Amino acid sequence: MSSTVAQVRSRMPRIAEVAVERARLTVVPRRRTRATRMPFVALVSIVLLGGVVGLLLFNTSMQQASFAATALQQQADTLAARQQSLEMDLDALRDPQRIAARAQKLGMVQSGNPAFLELGTGKVVGEPSVGTAATPFRIWQLPPPKPAAINPAPHVVTVPAPETDGGSSGSSSGNSSGDTGRSGGGNHGHRDMKNR
């Protein structure tokens, strides 16, 4: 047992020496190797530039789409207004009263009472009459009568005209009124001067 312990003790310094030799650090000369920053800077610059250009293109396309939508909306509003105007014109042209008035202007008359023929028996039902222009058909309705409260009978007053004596009396009256106006104006002028 003592021999085994002695062997272990003799081996321990050797193992320690080998470990120290292996663990010895040696000074390595410093190498100056700088990682080039240019690829990274170029990559970041390209990404930023691409983002800005993409944003500008997107903004421009959105504005163009907005302008196009506004123009199309205005065109749709114009066409809708034109359609409504044409429909109103068409309704005015289809008005039965207008058609009847146009027919009367062309010399057409309203038909009289019609007669009907029964096909089974051959019998004529009704008394036919010829249309005449002697009794024109009323196309436009008469306005409703006004109530008596807002439609009183007119009150007419006759006033006799004054007699005139030719041109002499008119000229003398004109001169006298002109003199009066001048004298009155002069008096007003004197009053104004006194007030000042």
pLDDT in tens, the chain (196 residues): 556 666 656 666 777 777 777 766 667 777 776 667 788 888 999 999 999 999 999 999 999 999 999 999 999 999 999 999 999 999 999 988 888 888 888 888 877 788 888 898 889 888 888 777 666 667 777 788 888 788 788 888 888 888 887 655 444 444 444 444 444 444 444 444 444 4
Residue 160 belongs to some domain of the structure: no
Tokens representing 59? 């903004």
**Amino acid identity for residue 18 in this structure:** V
Q: What pLDDT score does 25 carry?
A: 66
Instruction: Please indicate, yes or no, if residue 115 is contained in any of the structural domains.
Output: no
- Distance between CA 55 and CA 65 in Å, rounded? 15
What is the spatial distance between Cα 152 and Cα 53, in angstroms, rounded to a whole number? Answer: 84
Question: Is residue 101 domain-resident?
Answer: yes
Whole domain around residue 98: which residue ranges? 45-105
Q: What is the pLDDT of residue 137?
A: 67
CB 113 within 8 A of CB 122: no
Q: What is the pLDDT of residue 189?
A: 43
Is residue 101 within 8 A of residue 137, CB to CB? The reply is no
In a domain, 66, yes or no: yes
| Residue 64 lies inside a defined structural domain of this protein | yes
pLDDT score at 193:
43
Specify whether the CB–CB gap between 158 and 137 falls below 8 A.
no
Q: In degrees, to the nearest 5, what angle opens at C-alpha 141 toward C-alphas 135 and 144? A: 125
Q: Output the pLDDT for position 88.
A: 94
Torsion angle, CA of 160/165/171/176, rounded to 10 degrees?
-70
Report the pLDDT value the prediction gives residue 60, as an integer from 0 to 100: 94
Q: Please give the tally of structural domains in the chain.
A: 1
**100 contact partners, CB below 8 Å, separation of at least 6:** 137, 139
pLDDT confidence of residue 113: 80
The reply to whether 10 falls in a domain is no
Q: Which pTM does this prediction carry?
A: 0.38
Question: Is residue 13 classed as helix, strand or coil in its secondary structure?
Answer: helix
Locus of tokens 């000369």: 29
E strand intervals along 59-139:
116-117, 124-125
In a domain, 142, yes or no: no
Asked whether residue 63 is domain-assigned, the answer is yes
CB–CB of 124/114 below 8 Å? Answer: no
